[in-house]
Amino acid sequence: MKKYLLGTIAALAFIGSTGAHAQSRDQIRIVGSSTVFPFSTAVAEEFGRTTNFKAPIVESTGSGGGLKLFCGGVGTAHPDITNSSRRIKQSEVDMCAANGVSEIVEMKIGFDGIVMAAAKTSPSMTLALHHIYLALAAQVPAPGTDGGEGHLIPNPFKRWNEIDPSLPNEEIVVLGPPPTSGTRDAFVELALEVGCDFFKGNAALKKSNENKHKQVCQTVREDGAYVEAGENDNLIVQKLQADGRAVGVFGYSFLDQNSDVLQAFPVAKDDAEAVEPTFEAISSGDYPVSRSLYVYVKKAHVGVVPGIKEFLTEFTSEATWGDMGYLADRGLIPLPEDERATVAEDVAALKPLSLK
């Protein structure tokens, strides 16, 4: 027994020492958004199969978590690339710079639509962004006013037709992502806030009292009408099928995969015509609730970790992110053709990002 113990300790010490020296890497490491994860893993796999490089390791850490790791420093202990379902913030660029990551290459890869959908058997409806705001915000304008200071009341709406007579007489039950999710951030920004500013009083708050505006336009009601259904979009799809009243909020790729059991609702911005969340409408920007997806690359690692340049070439090739590419097959909405060309050129030249 004693011998075994000594052997074990020696083995562990050995393992520990080899681990500590295993600092050079021959494999790209990617972290970041769970929304971009299905796309960047597809590219990683294809890259591993068609080149002599190893397939990159892709971690799903969330956009914020990914940028934090990415900005941790330069050196092979830190990731080379991070995915993000929103643009990098100035504060994050500053954090990066403070840790020596001064040159970041930004690659916009396409769009993701956030859809509102229900089971095929549920009544259909056409929503405007201010309907979404009225259905989901914690505070809404009092009846007969257009919001703003002193004209706000806790959300009284229990059924859709109380918001607008054109909507069905159904209870409001919306299943959506929790606050930790990038999809939730984008949904709040693109649907709730825009719908909120439809009311002039609320819009005026933005100038007079920014904090109040934030609180009014970004706080989701907590009285049970909005149900946080977890990060797993498949779960939302299943729950929608089980509960005919419920409306779900999730990414376009899940609608694309489940179009035989789900119907998506057309959404209108302000008084414009409602648009169905189709591939074309999201790509052209007509569908109001869509966001851009990004990949950020650490320039200092290009040439140090083998394959980064080739990986970017693979990512920006037409067969990958083009209209007929395999990412479109997985639900990514490609950039318009001329924008693809510009981005590909900038990425090939490793043009560093500037937010100004």
Which residue ranges make up the site for other proteins (CB under 8 A)?
Answer: 1, 4-5, 8-9, 11-12, 15-16, 18-20, 22-23, 27, 29, 31, 34, 37-38, 41-42, 44-45, 48-49, 54-55, 57-61, 77, 120, 231-234, 251, 253-254, 256-261, 324, 326, 330-331
Structure tokens at 228: 């946080």
Closest C-alpha to 227, from 182, 294, 171: 171
For other proteins, which is the closer residue by CB, 37 or 294? 37
Q: Which is nearer to other proteins, 60 or 202 (CB)?
A: 60
In the complex, what is the shortest distance from the CB of residue 135 to other proteins, in angstroms, rounded to a whole number?
26
Tokens found for residue 329: 């097959």
Contact present, 269 and 129 (Cβ < 8 Å): yes
Q: Which is nearer to other proteins, 24 or 211 (CB)?
A: 24
Contact 229, 176 (CB under 8 A): yes
Nearer to other proteins, 156 or 178 (CB): 178
- Taking the least distance from each CB to other proteins, the nearer of 57 and 142 is 57
- CB 148 → other proteins: shortest distance, Å? 41
In whole angstroms, how close is the CB of 163 to other proteins at the nearest point?
Answer: 28
Torsion angle of alpha carbons 234, 239, 242, 243, nearest 10°?
Answer: -140
Q: State the minimum distance, in angstroms, from the CB of residue 129 to other proteins.
A: 25
Residue 55 vs 114, nearer CB to other proteins: 55
Q: How far is the CB of 348 from other proteins (least distance, A)?
A: 23
CB 261 within 8 A of CB 119: yes
Least distance (Å) between residue 93 CB and other proteins: 23
Report helix, strand or coil for 49. Answer: helix
Q: Return the ∠ at Cα 148 (arms to 146 and 151), rounded to 5°.
A: 75
**How far apart are CB 158 and other proteins at their closest, in Å?**
31
Cα dist from 237 to 208, 227, 229, 249, whole Å: 41, 13, 10, 9
> 306 φ, ψ to 5°?
-65, 140
- Nearest distance from C-beta of residue 312 to other proteins, angstroms: 18
Quick one: 213 or 301, whose CB is closer to other proteins?
Answer: 301
12 versus 97: smaller Cβ distance to other proteins: 12
Q: Which two tokens stand for residue 40?
A: 């960047």
In the complex with other proteins, which residue's Cβ is closer, 234 or 342?
234
Closest CA to 281 of 193, 273, 343, 257: 273
DSSP-assigned states of every residue in 190-218: IIIHHHHTTSHHHHHHHHH-HHHHHHHHH
Shortest distance (Å) from residue 89 CB to other proteins: 23
Partnered with residue 82 across adjacent β-strands are 31, 296
Minimum Å gap between C-beta 270 and other proteins is: 29
Compute CA distances 290 → 67, 116, 171, 267, whole Å.
21, 12, 26, 11
Q: Which amino acid is at 325?
A: G
Q: Which is nearer to other proteins, 45 or 222 (CB)?
A: 45
Q: What is the CA radius of gyration of the chain?
A: 23
Residue 178 near residue 228, CB atoms below 8 Å: yes
